[in-house]
Amino acid sequence: MLDKFNREINYARISITDACNLRCLYCMPNGYIAKHYNFLTVDEIKNIVTALSRLGVKRIRVTGGEPLIRKDIIEIIKTINQVEGIDDIGITTNGILLGEKIQDLIKYGLKRVNISLDTLKEDRFKKLTGGDLKKVLDGLNKSIELGLVVKVNMIPIKGINDEEIIDFINITKHLNIDVRFIELMPIGEATKFKGVTKDDILKYLDGANIVKIENNGGGPSEVYRLNGHVGRVGFITTMSHSFCSRCNRVRITSDGKLKTCLHNPDEYDLRPYIDDVDKLTEVLRAGIYNKYERHTLLEDKISKSSRDMVRTGG
């Protein structure tokens, strides 16, 4: 469907948990304990996806927290895949559990995976996240081998991992994946750090034969191909170049709220209507139609969201 600014909303991100098995420095370094939130059940997720499909949503991305820690993650993917009108299912994950679950995820309908990965150095990964880099790389390699569409999301942070930018770009030389640099957003713990912009990164590529890909499927990233590279490099420029005018997505939080903008405070409670798909459809229709025109990060330099990122869904 179209919102009141004539944007076609055809993509939804559904968070299925606030919990995570990593402790990333810029997200929740001291951990996070859910405050007795009742996370969406499989049946509730099915009803929400059914209602979204009625409104023209074709693509679903499952997020968290870390979605793969849900014991019923395979059932969730299977259920979403059974909803008529849903053409594409993806997941955003830190990759720790991906290697052991990937075959079943693909079997029941997963087509895409975005892996959050901010360093290629084992000691730094341990320091930044508390996790095991080898498990992430295992999941990454298996995803490529099994034919998934794979994207690696890297958040470069000054003084933390920015000297690895070229290393990440070089991944695309021989692997048919997208490496996307995401500008650090001022929300929660991330306000303590300084990010790197697309323009900063393009300086690393000065003199390289780089071509922008204009037809990028309506996503938020600006995508480029370097001469001689099999894969592509992308930029999500939330802080330096707003893409609100072409935003095509909404978010559902793990406790059943519709958020139409990541960085604005709006929330629509879906739980009172969760068992009635017709009513749910109308609540979603009203919320999507009234989606914010834009965020104000560029002016305010701070998110207006009432939630930390882990409680919104990536």
Mean pLDDT (10-residue bins), the chain, 314 residues: 94 94 80 70 98 98 95 98 98 97 98 97 96 98 97 96 95 95 82 88 76 69 90 85 81 93 81 97 96 68 57 59
Q: Which burial class, exposed, middle or buried, applies to 145 when counting CB atoms under 10 A from its CB (0-12, 13-18, 19+)?
A: exposed
255 and 40 in contact (C-beta within 8 Å)?
yes
Give the residue ranges of the annotated binding site for [4Fe-4S] cluster.
20, 24, 27, 244, 247, 261
Tokens describing residue 277: 């798909």
According to DSSP, residue 130 is labeled S
| Terminal-residue alpha carbon distance, the chain | 23
197 and 204 in contact (C-beta within 8 Å)?
no
152 and 164 in contact (C-beta within 8 Å)?
no
Residue with tokens 């014991």: 71
In three-state secondary structure terms, 232 is: strand
| Residue among 116, 86, 99 nearest 314 (CA) | 116
Give the residue ranges of the annotated binding site.
13, 20, 24, 26-27, 61, 65, 92, 116, 151, 185, 244, 247, 249-251, 261
Give the residue ranges of the annotated binding site for GTP.
13, 61, 92, 151, 249-251
Tokens describing residue 12: 């939804």
| Residue among 267, 263, 265, 266 nearest 299 (CA) | 263
Question: In the prediction, which pLDDT does 183 show?
Answer: 87
- The CA distance from 235 to 221, in Å, is 5
Residue with tokens 């305010």: 300
Sketch out the chain's domains with CATH numbers: 11-311 (3.20.20.70)
Ramachandran area for residue 75 (φ above 0: left; ψ -120 to 50: alpha; else beta): alpha
Question: In the prediction, which pLDDT does 57 show?
Answer: 98
Pairing between β-strand 232-236 and β-strand 222-226 as defined by DSSP bridges: antiparallel
- The CA distance from 68 to 91, in Å, is 9
Give the residue ranges of the annotated binding site for S-adenosyl-L-methionine.
26, 65, 116, 185
Question: In the prediction, which pLDDT does 307 show?
Answer: 59
Apex 134 CA angle, 60 and 188, nearest 5 = 55
- The CA distance from 178 to 171, in Å, is 9
Pairing between β-strand 210-213 and β-strand 178-182 as defined by DSSP bridges: unpaired
pTM (2 decimals)?
Answer: 0.91
- What is each CA distance from 99 to 75, 76, 206, in whole angstroms? 17, 18, 36
128 and 94 in contact (C-beta within 8 Å)?
no
Tokens describing residue 51: 């209602």
